[in-house]
Amino acid sequence: MLRLEQYLRLLPATTHATAPALISASSSLSYPLPNLSALRLPRSRPPTLRGKTSSAVRASAGPDATVKRAPEMAQREVARAVADQAVARLGARLLPSSVPADVAEFRNGAGNAVGSLDVHRGSPGSSIDFMLQSSLHCKVPNGAIDITSILIFLNASTNAPHFLLELIQGRSTSIVVILDLLPRKDLAFHPDYLQKYYEETRMDEQRGKIEELPQTRPYRSPSLFVRSACSPTAIMVNIDCGQGGEKALEEIMHGQLATVIQEVLQIWLDNCADSTTEMDEVERDCLLKRDRIVRSKSIEVDLTANLPRMFGPDVSSRVITEIRKAFGVQEP
């Protein structure tokens, strides 16, 4: 859902040789990954984002298997705490992960990019469609790009919003935050939906808590589709602490930002996760069509164009295949 064109221009040339036909594609990045894992690990251990321990978690075999995992950092610690919170509440409504080992953890042959993906489908009878968690780390000439995402999508038993979190860093002193309850209906056409999920839950107050920070600036996605898909209460900001601001950013992330993310998730858990909605056939068809468009657009425009730049065609194909399965989107 997020495009960071300025960062992908820095991708090292070593990744380009693996997929020359794809390098001319869009230079923006969005990984729903979100893109978008949970058991808390000691700080000394490299993180793998997981909502529950998966039997599929293994380092991929081959000559690049010794490449280190993504480094520990504040954004992943915050994401793990959020995923812990979601898993603790959703419990048996999430099925065990069935992501293959070479997708649960993956890396490119050059050794400068690593990632992890975990998907838990919703159990039969629950309103959960899937919970997807992901992490990406890619070294670039002047640093690294780190993206951590959590998505929790609902199925057609309810029209309640989905949960979206994306944390993207290209520098150690700044981070882009995308946090939203993704609407599944046209808000102008359905003011009761706007009132129920955004006004009565006081979602805008959460946005205000982040925007009042002096280090916060609005982030405006270059994608009009992304802007139209999000709610008017979405938190889309760039928190920039300036030169030498690493410690200040970490304090914000573990403080105000972590608190707001957890409060937004709690709002979603209390008001959306357990909801069911009576819908006629026409309304349900419209809901499913909107969901398909949002999911397809994320994969078609962003992942297929940009993931190969980091991981090459073979690895990216395996990852995108698993995301398509979770999204219920067929390959065109």
pLDDT value of residue 44: 30
**274 in Cβ contact with 91 (< 8 Å):** no
Which CATH number is associated with domain 71-327?
3.40.1500.20
Distance of CA 141 to the CA centre of its chain: 25
Amino acid 301: pLDDT: 62
Q: What is the pLDDT of residue 305?
A: 67
Residue 38 pLDDT: 28
Give 216-250 pLDDT, tens digit per residue: 999 988 888 888 999 999 999 999 999 889 999 99
Structure pTM?
A: 0.81
pLDDT at 49: 44
pLDDT, residue 330, reads 73
Quote the CA–CA distance of 80 and 268 in Å, as a whole number.
17
Structure confidence at residue 299 (pLDDT)? 77
Show the 3-state SS of 68-108.
CCCCCCHHHHHHHHHHHHHHHHHHHHECCCCCCHHHHEEEC
pLDDT at 285: 94
The span from the CA of 223 to the CA of 2, in Å, is 8
What's the pLDDT at 315?
Answer: 92
Furthest CA-CA distance within the chain? 56
What pLDDT shows up at residue 332?
A: 62
pLDDT under 50: residue ranges of the chain: 1-67
